[in-house]
Structure 1
Amino acid sequence: MVFEQIATGGCQSYLIGCDDTCAAALIDPELSQIDHYIALASRDGVRIRYLIDTHTHADHFSATKELARQLNVPVIMHRRSPAPFVDMRLADGEMVVLGKLRLRALHTPGHTADSMCLQVNDRVFTGDTLLIGGTGRTDLPSGDPEQLHDSLFNKLLKLDAALKVYPAHDYKGRSHSTIAEEIANNPRLQKRERSEFVEMMNTLNLTMPTHITEALRTNMSGGKTVAHLLAAATATVPFMSLGELKARVEAKEDDLIVLDVRERDAYEGGHVPGARLLPRGQLELRVNTELPDPTRRILACCELGYISTLAAATLREMGFAHAVALDGGMKAWRESGYPLTTGRDP
C-alpha cells in the first residue's frame, strides 16, 4: 500500500494508493499544498483517482474542488455534505474501491453533520471526529455533542483496538495513534456517560478558527477564497515598483494616470501627488466617466497592494489593457519617505 502523510501546520492530509493498480485517493487535501500532492503522487508512481473530504472543514481551505478541476477526478464526501460540487456521496457502510483497497465509510456526526471516518486495512482516517488526545469540537455549525458521543462510543471506539488512528488535525507533531491508546489515554474519552460528555463539550469555551467564515463559505459552496482571487489577479497584472513611480512623479510625466482606489478619508490623509480618487467599490460604475480613454496607462494603488491588484485586474478585464498595480501600496510608500499630498487634489 502506498501511503503518504502530509502536514500543513496542524492540518493532516493523506495520499493512499494501491501498489498493484497504482490508483490513489487523496484525503482531506489543503488548498496551499496542491503542487506538493501532485508531485508526491508522481514520485510514488500513482494516479490520484479520488479526492475525499472527511467533513466540511471550518479551519482551512479544502483543495478538493480545485484538484478535481485540474485532474478531472471526482470529489467524495458523506451524503450529508452541503457542497454542490461533490460527485460521489457516501452513506454509512458504503465503500470506495481503490484497486485492491477498500475504503469503508463510517458516518460519525457530531463535529459536523457530514463527518465520516474511512477504514482501510490496518488504519482508520478519523477526520475531526477523533483526534490524538482529543476530539473534534461541537460548537461550530451542524455540530452536536450528543451525536459525537454516539459516534465515538457506539461506533468508532468499537472497532478493532489495534487500528491505527490518523486524524485530520494534530498540533503537536504526532503522526498517529491507535484506538486502544485513545481509549486508555485520551482525556475526553474518560467522560463515558453521555450527560458528562455533553456537559464537557458544551463548556470547552474554545476560540473560533481564524478563517471560519471564509472557510465554511468556500468549502460548503465551492466559492473562491480571497487568496485564490488575489493569486488569479496577480497572474494577470504587471506591477510598478515604488522607486519607478517616484521617479515618474518627480519627472511629472503625463502619460501615467495614478488611480487611488482607497476610500476618500484615506486618500485625503495622504496620497501620491497627482493621484486621482476612484474607490474600488465604485470602479465599475464610474470608470467610463472617470477614465474615458482605454489606451491610457493606469496605475492602481491602495493601502497594502491587495485591493489595487484586484482593481487592476478588473480594469484589464474591462478593456484597459495597460492597467498595472503599485507593488507594496501606500503603506510602503509612506514608510519609504516618498512625497505625499493631503486633502483633495485640484
Structure 2
Amino acid sequence: MIFEQVATGGCQSYLIGCEGTRIAALIDPELTQIDRYLGLAARDGLRIRYAIDSHTHADHFSASRELAERLDIPVVSHRLSPAPYVRMRLEDGELLQVGGLKIQALHTPGHTRDSMSLICEDRVFTGDTLLIGGTGRTDLPTGDPNKLYDSLFERLLKLDPTLLVYPAHDYKGRTHSTIGAEIADNPRLQKRERAAFVEMMNQLNLSAPTHLTEALRTNMSGGKTVAQLLAEATAAVPFVAMTDLARRVEQGDLGFVVLDVREREAFRAGHIPGAQHLPRGQLELRVNQDLPDPTARIVTCCEFGRISTLAASTLRTLGFMHASALDGGMKAWREAGLPLAEGD
C-alpha cells in the first residue's frame, strides 16, 4: 500500500494507493489541501479514483465535491449522507475496490448518523467515531450517544486489537494508535456500561466548532464557502492601489466612479472625498439607476476590502467591465491618515 497522511491543523486526511495498479483513494480530504493531494498523487504516479468522506463533517470543509468535479470521480459516503453530490453510497459491510486494495465500510453512527469506518488491510480509518484518546462528540446534528456506544463497544472495539487506528482528527500531533491501545488507555472507553457512557457523553459540554454552520451547510449541500467566493471574486477583478487613489483625491481628479458599498451610517461617518454611495445589499436593484454608463471606470470600496471585492465581481458579471476594487478598505484608509469627507 502507498500511504500518505496529510494534517491540516487537527484535521487528518489520507491518500491510499495500490502499488501494482497505481489506483488511489482520498479519505476525508480537506478543501485547502487539494493542490497538495494532487502533487502527492503525481509524485507517486497515482490516479485518484475515489474521494471518500467518512461522515458529514462539522469542523472542516470537505474537498470531495471539488475533487470529484476536477477529476471526474465519484464522491463516496455512507448511504445516509445528506450530501446530494455523493455518487456512490455504501451500505454496511460493502467493499470498495481500489486497484488491488479492498476497503470495507462499517456503519458506525453516533457522532453523526452517516458515520462509517473504513478497514483496509492492517488499519482502520475511524472518522470521528473513535479518536486517539477520545471519541467523537454526540451533541451536534444527528449525534446519538447510544448509537456511539454500540458503534464502539459492539463493533470497532471487537476488531483485531493490532489494527492501526487512523482518525479524522487529532489535535496533539499524534499520527495513529491501535485498537488494543485505545481499549487499554482511552479514558472515554473506560466507561464500559452503556448508562455511564451515555451520561458522560451528555455532560461533556463542549464548545461548538468554529465554522459549524458554514461547514455543515457546504458539506451537506455542496455549496461554496465564503472563502471560495472571495477567492473567485479576487481572481476575477483588478485592484487599485490605495496610494494611487489617494494621489488622485489630492489632485482633485479621481478618474473613477468611487463606489462606497458600505451601509449609510458608515458612509456618512467618513468616506473617500467624491465617493458615490450604493450599499452592497441594493447593488443589483439600483445599478441601472445609479450607474447609467456601463463603460465607466469604477472602483469599489468597503470597510475591510472583502465586500467591495464581491461587489466589483458582481458589477463585472452585470456588464461593467471596467469595475475594480480598492486594494484595502476604509479602515486602512483611516489608519493611513488619508482624507475623509462626512455626511451624504
TM-score bracket for the superposition, by shorter chain length: over 0.9
1:96 to 2:96 alignment = yes
Partner of 2:266: 266
Shift of 1:255: 2.7
- In 2, Cα distance between the equivalents of 1:137 and 1:103? 25
Q: Secondary structure at the match of 2:324?
A: strand
Task: Please give the per-residue CA displacement for 1:240-286, whole angstroms capped at 9, x wherever unaligned.
Answer: 11101101111222531000000001111111011111000000000
Q: Secondary structure at the match of 2:124?
A: strand
**Structural mapping, 1:16-95, within 5 Å:** 16-95=16-95
Partner of 1:207: 207
Task: Please give the per-residue CA displacement for 1:115-173, whole angstroms capped at 9, x wherever unaligned.
Answer: 00000000000000000000000000000000000000000110000000000000000
Report the more deviating stretch, 121-130 or 326-335: 326-335
Q: Secondary structure at the match of 1:182?
A: helix
- In 2, Cα distance between the equivalents of 1:252 and 1:87? 59
Partner of 1:148: 148
The one-letter code sitting in structure 1 at the alignment partner of 2:186 is N
- In 2, Cα distance between the equivalents of 1:227 and 1:340? 30
Q: Secondary structure at the match of 1:151?
A: helix
Partner of 1:181: 181
Task: Please give the per-residue CA displacement for 1:14-34, whole angstroms capped at 9, x wherever unaligned.
Answer: 000000000000000000000
Partner of 2:335: 335
1:191 to 2:191 alignment = yes
- In 1, Cα distance between the equivalents of 2:120 and 2:256? 62
- In 1, Cα distance between the equivalents of 2:133 and 2:254? 65
Residues 95 and 105 of structure 1 are in contact (CA less than 8 Å); yes or no, is this contact kept in structure 2? yes
Q: Secondary structure at the match of 1:166?
A: strand
- In 2, Cα distance between the equivalents of 1:292 and 1:74? 46
Q: Secondary structure at the match of 2:236?
A: coil
Partner of 1:219: 219
Partner of 2:255: 255
Q: CA RMSD in A?
A: 0.6
TM-score (norm 2): 0.99
Residues 117 and 127 of structure 2 are in contact (CA less than 8 Å); yes or no, is this contact kept in structure 1? yes
TM-score (norm 1): 0.99
- In 2, Cα distance between the equivalents of 1:170 and 1:55? 16
The one-letter code sitting in structure 2 at the alignment partner of 1:264 is R
The one-letter code sitting in structure 1 at the alignment partner of 2:163 is L
The one-letter code sitting in structure 2 at the alignment partner of 1:308 is S
Residues 255 and 296 of structure 1 are in contact (CA less than 8 Å); yes or no, is this contact kept in structure 2? no
The one-letter code sitting in structure 1 at the alignment partner of 2:315 is L
- In 2, Cα distance between the equivalents of 1:172 and 1:343? 53
Residues 245 and 254 of structure 2 are in contact (CA less than 8 Å); yes or no, is this contact kept in structure 1? no
- In 2, Cα distance between the equivalents of 1:245 and 1:254? 7
- In 2, Cα distance between the equivalents of 1:334 and 1:60? 35
**Structural mapping, 1:5-24, within 5 Å:** 5-24=5-24
1:111 to 2:111 alignment = yes
Q: Secondary structure at the match of 2:151?
A: helix
- In 2, Cα distance between the equivalents of 1:311 and 1:48? 37
- In 2, Cα distance between the equivalents of 1:328 and 1:167? 40
Shift of 1:296: 0.4
- In 2, Cα distance between the equivalents of 1:111 and 1:249? 57
The list of structure 1 runs, each at least 4 consecutive aligned residues, that deviate by more than 4 angstroms after superposition, is none
**Structural mapping, 1:267-346, within 5 Å:** 267-344=267-344
Percent identity, aligned pairs only, is 71
Q: Secondary structure at the match of 2:286?
A: helix
Q: For structure 1, list consecutive stretches of 5 or more residues without a partner in the other structure.
A: none
